[in-house]
Structures are given as structure tokens and as C-alpha cells.
Amino acid sequence: MAQLKENILDKEYFEDTQKDKYLTFSMGKEEYGIEIRYVTEIIGMQAITEVPELPDYIKGIINLRGKIIPVMDVRLRFKKEFKEYNDRTCIIVIDIKDISIGLIVDAVSEVMSIAEQDIVPPPDSKTGFHNRYVKGIGKIDNGVKLLLDCDKLLNDEETEDLSLPV
């Protein structure tokens, strides 16, 4: 499997098709986007096993075909209020720097291309409460998409505290 992936990477074929492609999903009124190269798959909601002593936005762990991965409720991560999961709720599995994690979002929309010139940096002021995780704003015909910085989402100083002293 990994071999195959490498081969494809070698041909630089992988990079090209994924460039400027974003997976968009909705949460409340806003539409968000994450770079498609981080996304491994999208799965429906499943039973989550709670793990004690974790921040509330880490809902627990799930079994993804034998691989145990943590899941994060992006709503709670953005300090929005909790919304009951329904059949539209999805888990987007992303893979960053060898860490797999599932992101719980309200609903997945589509994969779309947003050209580099259509992306503007977020406003500099720290007024918005989720500015931290937004690395750019993509302009498209009928609105804007908030493009997430997956790395920050995972490796923010807050999550560093997950390792509690034992």
C-alpha cells in the first residue's frame, strides 16, 4: 500500500491532482474547507468510546478497521455549542504527520477547487474566536469558505496538555 503511494508520489501525479482542491463541510451557518491531501476518508457517525481525562472536544476513540483513532468534535473545538449528532453528521478522517484523527462535522458538502489567487488571509485582528484555526478565506461564486489549518487544529498548545502527569 505504502509502496504504491510512494510510486504515485514519485511520478508527481499525486500532488498535481490534489492541488487547490478542498473538501468543504458545513458547521452551523459557516462553510469550512480543508486541503484534500490531508483527508483519508469520510465515514458516518459511529459508536465512540469515551476515554477519561481528555478535553471535552476529544470525544473519544473509534475503531477504523482495526486502527484506533481519536475523534475530535470540531464544534466543541471552536467553542461552539454541542449539537446532537444526526444522520448528516460525518467524521472526516485526516492524516497529518503520521497522526490520524477523525473530525466530527455537521455535514460534508463537496470537493471543490479554489485557486490560490482566490484565497485571502484572514483578518489580522484577534476578534473572531476561531481565527486561530483559519489560515485563509476562499472566495467562490456564492460565498466564502473558511480554510482550516489542520496542523493548528491538532497541535495547538492546548492539545499539548493532553499528556497529563502520571
Partner 1 sequence: MSDNFSSDPMLEMFIFETNQFTEQLEQIILDSEKSCGFDTASINEIFRIMHTIKGSAAMMLYNNISGLAHSMEDLFYVLREEKPRNVNYSGISDIVLEGVDFIKNEIAKLENGKPSTGDALALVEVIEAFVTKIKSCNDIAETPVNTAAEEQQKFYISPQALPITTANNTYEAVITFDEGCEMENIRAFSVVHSLKEKNVVLEFEPPDIIDNENSAGIIRQEGFRIVFRTNMTIEEARTLLINETLFLRELEINVVETPAEPVKKRKEIVLEDDLPEDLAVAGSVESEDAQPGSKQSFISVNILKLDRLLDLVGELVISEAMVLRNPEITVLQIESFQKAARQLEKITSELQDTVMSIRMVPLSTTFHKMNRIVRDMSKKLGKNVQLAIIGEETEVDKNIIEHISDPLMHLIRNAVDHGLETTEERLAAGKPETGTVTLEANNEGGDVWIIVRDDGRGLNRKTIIEKARESSLLKKNENELSEREVYSLILMPGFSTKERVTEFSGRGVGMDVVVRNIEKVGGQILIDSSPGTGSVISIKIPLTLAIINGMAVKVGKSSYVIPTTMIRESFRAREEDVIRDPDNNEMILIRGDCYPIIRLHKYYKKKEAVTNMQEGIIVMVENEFRGACLFADELLGEQQVVVKSLPRYIKKVKGIAGCTLLGDGSISLILDVANIINQGEER
SS3 of 124, please?
coil
CB nearer to partner 1: give 36 or 69: 69
The letter for the amino acid at 20 is D
Rounded CA separation 55/162 (Å): 7
* Nearest partner of 48 among 56, 57, 60, judged by Cα: 60
User: Over 20-74, what HEC string results?
Assistant: CEEEEEEECCEEEEEEHHHEEEEEECCCCECCCCCCCCEEEEEEECCEEEEEEEH
CB nearer to partner 1: give 61 or 140: 61
CB nearer to partner 1: give 125 or 164: 164
Least CB distance from residue 93 to partner 1, whole Å?
Answer: 12
Least CB distance from residue 7 to partner 1, whole Å?
Answer: 12
Least CB distance from residue 18 to partner 1, whole Å?
Answer: 19
Least CB distance from residue 155 to partner 1, whole Å?
Answer: 9
Q: Is 63 in the site for partner 1 (CB under 8 A)?
A: yes
Which DSSP symbol is given to 129?
A: T
Per-residue binding string, partner 1, 91-130, x by CB under 8 A, is -------xxxx-----------------------------
